[in-house]
């Protein structure tokens, strides 16, 4: 960051949050805290849940034009009366640090990307740092969301994994997941992945974050029962979550460099 400042590169992240969803508020606070820790300028636009789609787009249009803001992030989900696609499309693809804009999604498909979605990128970093090679491995992703499942599959494919995407209509799910050398759970159901679904020695990445009736945070994987079967497994909380924030910071800095042609 010091080098960028010396070069006169402005690094700034603007976060827009609509409504008072408690989970969204936690995520936004974590992002602001990370910005403070590494010296990224940040702004927050907190709008009431009754805010209109046009009000959000007006803020985005202003931020698109500001040279001190390199990254724009709209915290999802949005209230039902606001069309998420319209909001994502309004963000300049050059400042789309979530990598949800159609231009960036297309670049990810072809492998010629500037930004990666923060959670899938964090998962790939975890796999790399654990010394596991994706090449030639049987990879299974449970979940097909645009935010995690689909881009996660593409990133594994780009590293020469053999990838299967599973979802609610998949038949014989257990048989499919049992083949996985690398299993990524992003289904949004607490303790969905049980020990009998996991191959001995598999790498298990738990993207899920769910709150039980008792208020405890748990993942999509039944951690206690799966940990002895897996070669490596991520905890919830404290596994993929911090990596997602780290990748957001990385994207924001990269956006600043690209905008400044550095």
Which of the following is catalytic: 94, 96, 98, 191?
98
Q: Rounded distance, CA 109 to CA 120, Å?
A: 13
Residue 168, CB-side half-sphere exposure with 13 Å CA sphere? 4
8 Å CB contact between 37 and 94: no
75 is catalytic: yes
Which of the following is catalytic: 75, 94, 191, 222?
75
By C-alpha distance, which of 252, 260, 218, 237 is closest to 31? 252
Question: C-alpha angle with apex 204: 217 to 249, nearest 5 degrees?
Answer: 65
Which of the following is catalytic: 31, 94, 150, 199?
31
Strand locations in the chain (E): 12-18, 41-47, 71-74, 138-142, 162-166, 182-185, 203-206, 210-211, 217-218, 232-233
- 10 phi and psi angles, rounded to 5 deg: -90, 125
Residues present in the chain in total: 262
- 43 phi and psi angles, rounded to 5 deg: -130, 145
Residues 6+ apart with CB under 8 A from 68: 10, 12, 41
**Residue 183: both structure tokens together:** 């299993």
Q: Rounded distance, CA 38 to CA 249, Å?
A: 9
Q: Is the dihedral of CA 186, 247, 223, 141 positive or negative?
A: positive
- Enzyme catalytic residues: 31, 75, 98
């Amino acid at each position: 960051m010091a080098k960028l400042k010396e070069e006169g590169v402005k690094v700034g992240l603007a976060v827009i949050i609509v409504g008072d969803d408690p989970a969204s508020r936690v995520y936004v606070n974590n992002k602001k805290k990370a910005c403070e820790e590494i010296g990224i300028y940040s702004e927050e636009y907190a709008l009431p849940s009754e805010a209109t789609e046009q009000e959000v787009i007006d803020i985005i249009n202003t931020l698109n034009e500001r040279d001190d803001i390199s990254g724009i992030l709209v915290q999802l989900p949005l209230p039902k009366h606001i069309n998420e696609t319209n909001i994502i499309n309004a963000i300049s693809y050059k400042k789309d640090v979530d990598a949800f804009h159609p231009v960036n999604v297309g670049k990810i498909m072809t492998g010629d990307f500037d930004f990666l979605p923060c959670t899938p990128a964090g998962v790939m970093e975890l796999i790399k740092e654990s010394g596991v090679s994706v090449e030639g491995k049987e990879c299974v992703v449970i979940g097909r969301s645009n935010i995690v499942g689909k881009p996660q599959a593409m990133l594994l494919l780009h590293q020469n994994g053999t990838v299967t995407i599973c979802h609610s209509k998949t038949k014989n799910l257990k048989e499919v997941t049992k083949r996985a050398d690398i299993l990524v759970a992003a289904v949004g159901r607490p303790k969905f992945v049980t020990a009998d679904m996991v191959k001995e020695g598999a790498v298990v990445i738990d993207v899920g974050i769910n709150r039980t009736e008792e208020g405890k945070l748990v993942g999509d994987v039944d951690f206690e029962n799966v940990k002895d079967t897996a070669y490596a497994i991520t905890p919830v909380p404290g596994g993929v979550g911090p990596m997602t924030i780290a990748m957001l910071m990385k994207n924001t800095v990269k956006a600043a460099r690209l905008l400044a042609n550095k």
